[in-house]
Amino acid sequence: MEILFITTTNLSTNPRILKELRLALERGYECTFIGFKLGNWSDKTEQEHLNLFNGLKVNYLSSGTLAGTSATLSVRHGWLSVVRYRWLSVVEARYLTTLVWKLSIIFNKIFKKNIKIAAYAHNKRSFQIERILKKQKDKYDLIIAHNLGALYPTFKFAKKHHIPFAFDIEDYHPGEKCSPAERYRREILMQELLPKAAYISYASPLIGEHTLKLLTSAKPESSRLDGIKYMATGTKCISRSVCGTDMLKVEVIAEDIKLPQSILINNSFSQDEFQLIEIADKKVQFVWFSQNITWGRGLELIVPALLKYKEKVHLSLIGNKRIDFYNQFLAHFDEFITYIEPLPQDKLHLRLSEYDIGLAIEVSNVDLNKDIALSNKIFANAQSGLFILATDTLAQKQFIEEQNEDFGSALSPDFGSFRLRSTTTAQSPDFGTALSKGFDSAQTRIEIGMLSAQSIEAMEKAVSRIIDEVEIIRANKRVRFEYANRLAWEHESQRLLNIWEQLP
């Protein structure tokens, strides 16, 4: 089987495509990757990712920030062998694509429902991907697109060559902060193109719900999501409120709408990427990571809250530090903050084990997507055994409450031993040992994390509780670490493999 992966970003900034690519290569599939050199911190870590892959063909396009290159690389035995290397002119990479993009925005005001114009107006990289696809001669068995800018060129190429394609929805793009015109473009692209996909995957139950609402409202005479009947046959549904306790797959009955197969693929990682380290530091160690350390990520709430307890806490921020954000805000709190440059995924996950508290502090008022998405932070923190402090976005509230409920119910009522609720509740054979060694009998309930309202005052209360209970939190780190095996990519990826193997 040969799979073509396409994104408007790269491996360093898109962990989901990185995991899928690794899975396909480990399965023995032939893989080609089309992405972008972004001309920033990610270019360095990109090379580190490529060094891990054998037999991968890579096409990188310029983002227009540099006089970039397009190259096809074959990775064998850890060495990069250049098969084709072609300079993209600055005119093509920067000016031509920008011209097409701006003209498309103008024409889109007149031809609002023209999919090609809408795609070019949405993302200038759609035009670049379409051009490079015209030069692709290989026959693929499946094409997987990540990021909305890759959707239209993927659809067009797949249709021309009669190849099934899939689309991964890590973020609900119409719910991101944008103009009404841009929101409409995103909606029409998804409404028109996603029903033609072999399958779609999504990164949170609520993103799945909103996507299906959007697709079922494509035709006015169609029922909206609330009126559609759900079936839980074999694999499951996307919402507990509709289908019970499992959230894997949805089947929708709607007479006049053809919907693609849809599956939830959580943003989790291989459990082998994480390690368990016990912490004995006098200060409570908090950690937060993202691609960029900047405004609108919740740091404006947690950092002032930590200031009140600066003698008892320390915060590590991992990511690309934006100078304006640092100068205007973070510089005032340097006495209890350490800054760490962006790390490749494998090094980041090993580093997380050195902390007590993992922060997942998304802010709902940024946009709808932030409210309904589950980022990779919350899974990486959980799989590291960290106690999670999460803001009460709709998605994170659902996740923390459900995990705490399942975590607690994995223990017997007398809390002296544990019981498995099912074969999928705790996969590790060491889980019982971890519970018996790590459980503190003085605590009436073990939790994977806690929620906080989105204010400095609420954060202060949460931090105060964490400081008071840090000994219990540390004592139960091993329990959380072993329990989080149930979230691991090894389980998520099996659903993806099942779909790939079922494709004609």
The domain spanning residue 94 has which CATH number? 3.40.50.80
φ, ψ at 211 (rounded to 5°):
-65, -45
Say whether both 148 and 16 belong to one domain.
yes
Domain that holds residue 67: 2-163
Q: Which residues contact 121 (CB under 8 A, 6 or more apart)?
A: 101, 104, 105, 107, 108, 185
Q: Would you mind telling me the total number of residues written for the chain in this entry?
A: 504
Beta bridge partners of residue 422, listed in sequence order:
none
Residue 263 lies in a domain: no
Asked whether residue 260 is assigned to any structural domain, the reply reads no
Q: How far apart are CA 150 and CA 61, in angstroms?
A: 13
Residues 277 and 150 both lie in one domain:
no
Residue 204 inside a domain? The answer is no
Look at residue 503 and tell me if it is in a domain: no
Residue pointed to by tokens 């949405």: 122
d(CA 349, CA 273): 6
What pLDDT, on the 0 to 100 scale, is given for residue 455?
A: 97
Question: Structural domain tally of the chain?
Answer: 2
Rounded-to-integer distance, Cα 411 and Cα 409, Å: 5
Residue 106: which residues within 8 A CB-CB, separation 6 or more?
A: none
Residue whose pair of structure tokens reads 């990682």 in the numeric block: 269
Among candidates 346, 348, 421, which has minimal Cα distance to 386? 348
Contact 169, 131 (CB under 8 A): no
State how far the Cα of 461 lies from the Cα of 465, in Å rounded to an integer: 6
| Residues 6 or more apart in contact with residue 346 via CB below 8 angstroms | 273
CA 17 to chain centre: 9
Where is the domain boundary, 128, 163, 198? 163
69 lies in a domain?
yes
* Last-in-domain residue among 143, 163, 183: 163
* Angular region, 415: left φ>0, alpha ψ -120 to 50, beta rest: left
pLDDT of residue 253: 41
Helices and strands in the chain, H and E counts: 21, 17
Q: Shortest CA distance to 320 belongs to which of 358, 349, 348, 346?
A: 348
Q: Indicate whether 147 belongs to any domain.
A: yes
Q: What CATH number is given to the structural domain containing 381?
A: 3.40.50.2000
Nearest 5 degrees, angle CA 239-CA 379-CA 40? 120
Same domain, 275 and 158: no
> Residue-wise pLDDT tens for the chain (504 aa)?
999 999 999 999 999 999 999 999 999 999 999 999 888 888 888 888 888 888 899 999 987 654 344 444 444 433 333 333 344 445 566 788 899 999 999 999 999 999 999 999 999 999 999 999 998 876 899 999 999 999 999 999 999 999 999 999 999 999 999 999 999 999 999 999 999 999 999 999 999 999 999 998 744 333 333 323 322 223 333 343 444 444 444 444 444 567 899 999 999 999 999 999 998 899 999 999 999 999 999 999 999 999 999 999 999 999 999 999 999 999 999 999 999 999 988 999 999 999 999 999 999 988 999 999 999 999 999 999 999 999 999 999 999 999 998 876 555 333 332 222 222 333 333 433 343 344 443 444 579 999 999 999 999 999 999 999 999 999 999 999 999 999 999 999 999 999 999 987
Flag whether 98 is in a domain: yes
pLDDT of residue 295: 95
**pLDDT at 445 (0 to 100):** 56
**Cα 231 from Cα 249, distance rounded (Å):** 9
Q: Where are the beta strands (DSSP E) in 427-476?
A: 449-452
HSE value, Cβ hemisphere, 13 Å, CA-based, for 459? 23
Burial class of residue 112, CB neighbours in 10 A (0-12, 13-18, 19+):
middle
Q: Are residues 152 and 276 in the same domain?
A: no
Cα separation, 245 vs 178, whole angstroms: 35
Looking at residue 402, its pLDDT comes to: 93
Q: Which of 163, 190, 220 is where one domain is finished?
A: 163
What is the model's pLDDT at position 321?
95
Q: Is there a domain that residue 140 lies in?
A: yes
Q: Are 320 and 347 in contact (CB under 8 A)?
A: no
